[in-house]
Structure 1
């Protein structure tokens, strides 16, 4: 794998830490800025919405820029937004900085996905995507718990400053690791925007995006509401919440790594094996949530299966959008974040029902079941290893 890929993964690590870190900081933010915890929770919604909407908008804006310039610009805006958020005493300003950060994150990830695919041979997009997404999985293992500890010791503002600082070495890496001359030529050779947007009329691309969104919705439906399952249903202490999140992150890293070696040539097999296992795992987690050992083991397993299946489907988006070289990453990013925003919203509706804390786990299973019902009859159309010729 190309060294610039790992520089991009470093930036994705900083951004992934920012995306997930609020779960442990909301009470502190609410108290400091004199708002309710529920109001503070809109920071998460604003970020996810900004990511989903911002991916195609920012990718379209930056499509004629050299990729190095686009990546560097988005990184610096992301860093500045966190510095502004750390310095403000106004919740409205903090909310605005989260939207700006989300737009910058969406733009960076959209450009990074297409850049990662261009840094390897056409039949290794899955491997490149695995390296890139490893930044997100490492964020759940180290970045989020570390941010939570930093916030506990020094306050939530310290975590925002830390994320802003993490972007700087990644920016230097992008500046020195992405070749500028080749990027200028590629920017000039890209097809017209109308031609790239026309790719969205392709059923195979829309199907890959839908499946990726459903699996990611299932992942975030349970990941968002995992804490009460750990403390209430399993009866573990609050410190075990961080432990469960680390296990989920470790599983996701393992899943992305394994899928990266299979998703290019055997996507159908990954879905055929991983899909039913993922569905069974969500049901097992709901049924065995009161048994701590089983719960923690299944959290690791579900992290691995969720990211293996999700990254494979997002790789298919990149293949199916080969005719949109500058917008393909934004289509993949939008699919991921539509799922990330929709999953928790659907799961939240079950918390007040008889299912209680276990409701989100059943929702995750239902979403995976829907994805499989769609995928299996059509697997020959989209879950093949053949690439799409622009």
Structure 2
């Protein structure tokens, strides 16, 4: 009997401890559950337009300047095969600019023009634009400097020995599994760190394995872009999100104030956590089409626009400085694009003066041939105008 009473008391104490822990970690557990159902077929479209309901966030003020209105142009007809592609690839929004004029805008699957949509890796190209301004003003003058010179927390990690140029071109050599369909992959472990309010800096510093020598080959790993953010913070003494807001967001005169997802220390998820309207994604594309100039002001240096959107990765891989550059770009108007998982794009075709911003919730984005099909559709649209 005494043992039974003791066991019951122990169970009550354990239940109390678990109850307190659950209450204390309620928000973290809720975010973890949200991550686990983030891409569910019945939730993904809604989730992608309302990520602030699921994660820690921080706003980026758009400032009190006027909205830089996109002038209207003559409406266009989409190429014959594009409506079927839109449906098959779960496109949720598309904005098309021709010579700086808005010629097509459409929203699908219950979404709306004012939805702030998750960028995923399209955010990398925004960070590249910011980096170009810091390189030009001498804050980070040498692309061949070691990342640990600016981010000493990374000393002894797999990033020790990598240069800034290596992380700009996704050539750090760090071993990192980017398979979104593998629960135990590095990218999904990183997502759980974000959801549970952990530290992204600490996650990067804990990576110790290399798949290749730094600078020897391109291997796309998203954490490289977080390291780029650490370099920016170390060089400037500023939060990269604040700098992006001051140097890119506010000068562009966006229609709506964007926000970033953050980790538990308030560090912005610069590799994929930016949320904007589709029109505002198109504005970055137009800025780059105009070689970094906006309303008569040089926001991003023209030479950085040219270099970052040219082939820069070792071995002729189709990558610049945080922008995708097709290896056959010269045959298609010197095109290039920002690209995020589940079908996010900012496609730019300088020869045809076309910018196409696309948001999607495509759960089949990893199927063989999808990336090639998407690029072909975007090219066909641009070349039809």
**Which structure dedicates a bigger proportion of its chain to helix?**
1
Q: Which has the larger radius of gyration?
A: 2
TM-score by length of 2: 0.29
Of structures 1 and 2, the one scoring higher in RCO (CA 8 A, sep 6+) is: 1
TM-score by length of 1: 0.28
